[in-house]
Structure 1
Amino acid sequence: MNEIRINSLNEIHDLLSKYRKSNIFKFRGQSDSSWDLVPKAGRKGFDKVPDKVIFYQWKRRAISFLNKENYSDWELLAVAQHTGLPTRFLDWTHVPTVALFFAASENQDKDGAFFVFKPNKSILHEKIDPFNIEIPVIMHHPSAASDRVANQYGHFTVHNPPETPLNNNTLDGSLIKIIIPSNLKVEIIHMLNQYGINYLNLFPDLEGLSKHLTWFIENYEYWDKNFDENEIEDY
């Protein structure tokens, strides 16, 4: 895996321009550059109970909250992933600015990481059980089973077992890691907000609204004060 460090917003624009005319790349942002590419179900503290067991417990209770019947397990895992359940899915997107947002939106005192992944193959999920995959890590292109999946242009890598990292040993394709310095994070998030990439649009629900306004308040000193305080709802 190649590793690059950027040092300015101009370098970010130059970086993103390389992928403007292609949809074969997938992107992921992590707010701490030291983290491995491992799904939540494989991380310390979440690996004590098999993810299959947790999913089926979630599945039998979640039915009352779902909008339709006859979801496949692949669709339900996508919904579970985007509502916080530890699964063997790891989030990716084909929109680089979405990944950049997640690289910069938290852990302001730490460098973030922006990953560019070009997978060689993806799984034909209609023909296989998500808990019975022989390949350690493989890309999955989901249906838009939830608004969050749709708004974040979500894709997933599927890890078997969940603690398997995507790295040089499991990689089937190319992978680049770009380090996002901590001192650029605030500026990046304000830039992305101007482009319409923020909590409100990525999480189209009350949680997203609350997170967006919380972010605005936390960064109040950064904003231009030449506006009326009653206009806060416009931000």
Structure 2
Amino acid sequence: MCNGVKKITIKSYDELVNIVRGKDKIFTDDLREDFVFRGISNIEYDLIPSALRKNELNELNINEFIESDCEFKVSIDKTEAINNGLDYDEDCLTYDGEVIVLFDKYGNLISDKNNNFKAPEYKIQKEREYYVLLKFLSYADKCGLKVNAEEILRFLIHNKLNEPFENFLDQTEVIEVMSLAQHYGLPTRALDWSYDYRVALYFTVKDVLNSNNNSDGVLWALNHKLIEVPEYNNLQYNLRIHRPEYNTNPNLNAQKGLFTFLERYVGDYDKPLDEIISSELNQKPENKGVSISKDVKVTVVPSDISKDDVVFYKFIIPNEIKPEILKELYLEGYSEEYLFPGYEGVSKSILNRVKLNEILKNHDGYIKKSILLSGDWNLNEIINKNQLYVFVNFDFKEEIDKIFIYHDNKIVGYFRGNEIIKNSLNVLWEQFGKHSGLSEDKFNECFKGNNEAFAIRINDLNMFKYPIKLCGFEFVYDFCFVEDIDDLKFLSNFN
């Protein structure tokens, strides 16, 4: 485990659900209690907020939202300004006695294009973000859209000032505006998360609907109970968590959203959040934190967290299982019409379901069906609603790796990732039987006399393009096991 980050590669939807819910053999803690979740469709994308992301030219994306002739007022130490030959107004000083210098959105001097002095990046970045947020507030307010704006915000959107925004605005004053803007696509310093892992999982896998998609995704889980501090105004800790008002934003309400953000831009603030926290956890206690004044140091997270604590789970979602996961999410109600309430969400859902069905049908060598194997074989085969149920009689073992499908003297495919269910007939009926097309009474008849009925559920059935013909070998049932069958030992190394 990297400091604070535990990485797990997921093989199936069921495996992920079991881990998150604490029903896995190894992972027994229910992550829904203490964790929030974020889905990223491409494993190459980092936990960097949109305001700090850069394009292919290594330029900040936020600059696309700012006019080229925009002037930013940034406070500079007077001695530094003099030593670097900067122009400033002697009568215009900040509360700290610093002078104000004009820069463009790239941090270049307005008054002297030949002077290479650059604005401190952390200072001008704050000005960029406040400027875009205030424009969002102004435009939304003029359109009659509800925004939670305090008195100082309303003053700023109607008045030009002789001082930087940072001298007037504290992060707590703009947090609701920032949350709203972030949710609707404006670049901010916030990262959005969800209390519901299935919402985040949807955003991890939905890109599979794009024809050019070939990337693994990531489901991040962040232990918010571990990093939260009781007092919001505690200046010692830099990472903040905020849940905005749900009643003004139906999308946010449906997605159970919340946000994390850095209160101050200090240290390596533009690095991915997991790297920032890992780096801090790796430091000795006396070296943790960044000084923001003579007497105050700021740490990212509470100082009692150690590198052995799991702050993040990083679940790698392979691209090949994304279609199956999206299908399961749709079946559980995590689709566009619910996550994006309104007519547009309904239209997207209709289109995306057609796309997904085509992907599931055409996925080469990979059959997306659920298979139920039980301890009774009164029913040979039932096909209904694109679900295949096969009942066979065999003593299954929990440790088996692969079950090969034997048909007409050929091995035609295999499956693995088995989930063995050893519960009552009621559980089997709820999870499998009710979808089989049988009545409950008819389903239960299949298990008469079998008081220890159990099932194995397997997702991800792999069919061979070229079946392996076996000479002189016969097996009673259509499924054969690799282990303990000498004739099939050569298959045990098949991947």
TM-score tier by shorter-chain length is 0.7 to 0.9
| 2:261 aligned to which of 155, 158, 162 | 158
Give CA-to-partner distance per residue, 1:44-88, whole Å, 9 cap, x none. 141435222111111111112414665763222222111111111
User: Which AA in structure 1 matches 2:250?
Assistant: D
- 210 and 166 in structure 1: CA distance in 2 versus 1, 3 angstrom threshold: same
Q: Which runs of 4+ in 1 moved over 4 A?
A: 19-22, 68-72, 122-125, 133-136, 223-226
User: Which AA in structure 1 matches 2:174?
Assistant: D
Mapped partners of 2:144, 2:41: distance in 1: 31
Q: Could you tell me which residue of structure 1 aligns to residue 112 of structure 2?
A: none
| 1:175 aligned to which of 312, 317, 320 | 312
Q: Could you tell me which residue of structure 1 aligns to residue 352 of structure 2?
A: 215
Mapped partners of 2:189, 2:321: distance in 1: 31
User: Which AA in structure 2 matches 1:118?
Assistant: N
Q: 5 Å matches for 1:1-235?
A: 1-18=5-22, 20=30, 22-45=32-55, 46-48=61-63, 50-63=128-141, 64-67=143-146, 70=149, 73-106=174-207, 108-119=213-224, 120-121=227-228, 135-144=237-246, 145-159=248-262, 160-161=264-265, 163-170=270-277, 172=301, 174-221=311-358, 222=360
SS at 2:43's partner residue? coil
User: Which AA in structure 2 matches 1:59?
Assistant: L
- 136 and 163 in structure 1: CA distance in 2 versus 1, 3 angstrom threshold: farther
Mapped partners of 1:157, 1:187: distance in 2: 30
Mapped partners of 2:230, 2:18: distance in 1: 32
User: Which AA in structure 2 matches 1:79?
Assistant: L
**Cα shift at 1:89:** 1.1
**Cα shift at 1:176:** 1.1
Mapped partners of 1:168, 1:57: distance in 2: 32
Mapped partners of 2:62, 2:12: distance in 1: 38
Contiguous gaps of at least 5 residues in structure 1: 227-235
SS at 2:135's partner residue? helix
SS at 1:156's partner residue? strand
Structure number having the greater helix percentage:
1
Mapped partners of 2:313, 2:215: distance in 1: 19
Does the 8 A contact of 1:123 with 1:139 survive in 2?
A: no
SS at 1:75's partner residue? helix
Mapped partners of 1:210, 1:163: distance in 2: 38
SS at 1:84's partner residue? coil
Does the 8 A contact of 2:20 with 2:32 survive in 1?
A: no
Question: RMSD of the alignment, in Å?
Answer: 2.9
- 209 and 134 in structure 1: CA distance in 2 versus 1, 3 angstrom threshold: farther
Give CA-to-partner distance per residue, 1:82-138, whole Å, 9 cap, x none. 11111111110111111111111115411000111103115866x69xxxx885533
Mapped partners of 1:137, 1:65: distance in 2: 33
Q: Matched residues, percent identical?
A: 27
- 197 and 136 in structure 1: CA distance in 2 versus 1, 3 angstrom threshold: same
**Cα shift at 1:7:** 1.0
Mapped partners of 1:137, 1:110: distance in 2: 30
Does the 8 A contact of 1:92 with 1:154 survive in 2?
A: yes
**Cα shift at 1:35:** 1.1
Q: Which moved more, 1:187-196 or 1:105-114?
A: 105-114
**Cα shift at 1:188:** 0.5
Mapped partners of 2:316, 2:242: distance in 1: 25
- 123 and 85 in structure 1: CA distance in 2 versus 1, 3 angstrom threshold: farther
- 147 and 124 in structure 1: CA distance in 2 versus 1, 3 angstrom threshold: farther
- 158 and 207 in structure 1: CA distance in 2 versus 1, 3 angstrom threshold: farther
Mapped partners of 2:347, 2:229: distance in 1: 35
Q: Could you tell me which residue of structure 2 aligns to residue 232 of structure 1?
A: none
Higher Cα Rg: structure 1 or 2?
2
Give CA-to-partner distance per residue, 1:144-180, whole Å, 9 cap, x none. 1411111111111113447342114336361110100
Does the 8 A contact of 1:28 with 1:100 survive in 2?
A: yes
Mapped partners of 1:123, 1:183: distance in 2: 42
Tell which has more relative contact order, 1 or 2 (C-alpha 8 A, sep 6+). 1
Mapped partners of 2:339, 2:251: distance in 1: 6
